[in-house]
Amino acid sequence: MKKVALSEVKDDLSRYLRLAESEEVIITRHGRAAGVLVGFHSEDAWFDYRLENDPRFLKRVESARASLRAGRGIRIEDLSTAAGTHACMPPRRQVRSAAGKRKTRQHRQAARRPAG
């Protein structure tokens, strides 16, 4: 964590944004903490930050937790992973192409999409 005066941040913002990718940068005004500069090292980090701070998402998570506490729902530990598939995903159905090769539903859908 690094503390920096607002006047310094204004003079060299790009430097402090790069620094914020690896550590918190506390911006001070008159010696007191006034804000935090948050940097993101990737698009995924930006997405995670937005999701973690979205009140609608947090409300849904709390609702799901309350449901579990009330005995409704299925815990992830109880989900079956039979046949190597994730329980939240439907199993992939395989069909044979005209050439006799096996194709998954995803391959068929990709083949239908226009190129480009």
User: What is this structure's pTM?
Assistant: 0.48
For residues 19 and 98, the model is more confident at 19
Q: pLDDT (tens digit, 9 = 90+) per residue, 45-57?
A: 999 989 998 999 9
Q: Give CA–CA dist 71/30, Å, rounded.
A: 52
Q: Give CA–CA dist 77/63, Å, rounded.
A: 19
Q: pLDDT (tens digit, 9 = 90+) per residue, 58-90?
A: 999 999 899 888 988 776 777 765 445 555 555
